[in-house]
Amino acid sequence: MPIIKKYKPLKYTARPHCSNRLLSVRPQKNLNNRKMKKLGTSLIVIVILLISNYSEAQIIKYTDYEVAKSEALKQNKDILIVLTGSEWCKPCIKMKKNVFQNTAFIKLAEDRLIILEINLDRHINMSSKVYKDYDFFKNKYQTNALPSLILIDKNEVTKSVISKGLTSFEKTYNRLLELTTKQ
């Protein structure tokens, strides 16, 4: 006696929009495959978005010196003045990538520093507040280099002016670690 296999009947859906036939049919199992592909793609996009949000930890940066000074007094922290052109200056871009986006530096900044960022635009407007602040700090701390890091304590006493080797994370981090006081 021959063995008869029983197959599940396929469900069919109608496609009335075909022009050459009144009704065409196709198996419904393809619909399930498409739904799974859409679901998988959606999950991948969500995971990528979540990872990108966690990877960019941010440091609170001040742009006004008086506000940064009052925060430093309130929190008993040193002030790190960053003179930079982070959109156009190659060493500044490297410093931002290698130093400021490093998790160890972010932890150091959260624990010990108030960061004041003076970020010059590519097209410098001599009458802008940013340029006036840059000019003030450049003259006061006698540095003309970009990028420059100026470390002062909460009472505005200069601890260090660093303008060389800022693209190396290890050098910059170790120098700031030894200069800042544990709070």
Pick the residue with more confidence: 180 or 3? 180
Maximum alpha-carbon separation in the chain: 103
> Burial, 176: exposed, middle or buried (Cβ in 10 Å; 0-12, 13-18, 19+)?
buried
pTM for the whole thing? Answer: 0.67
Q: Which residue has the tokens 């003179």?
A: 83
Quick one: what percent of the chain has pLDDT higher than 90? 42
- CATH label, 61-179, candidates 1.10.260.40, 1.10.287.1260, 3.40.30.10, 3.30.1370.160: 3.40.30.10
Condensed to tens digits (0 to 9), the pLDDT of residues 94-115 reads 999 989 988 999 999 999 999 9
Structure-token pair, residue 92: 């500044």
State the DSSP code for 125: -
52-88 pLDDT, tens digit each: 544 445 678 899 999 999 999 999 999 999 999 989 9
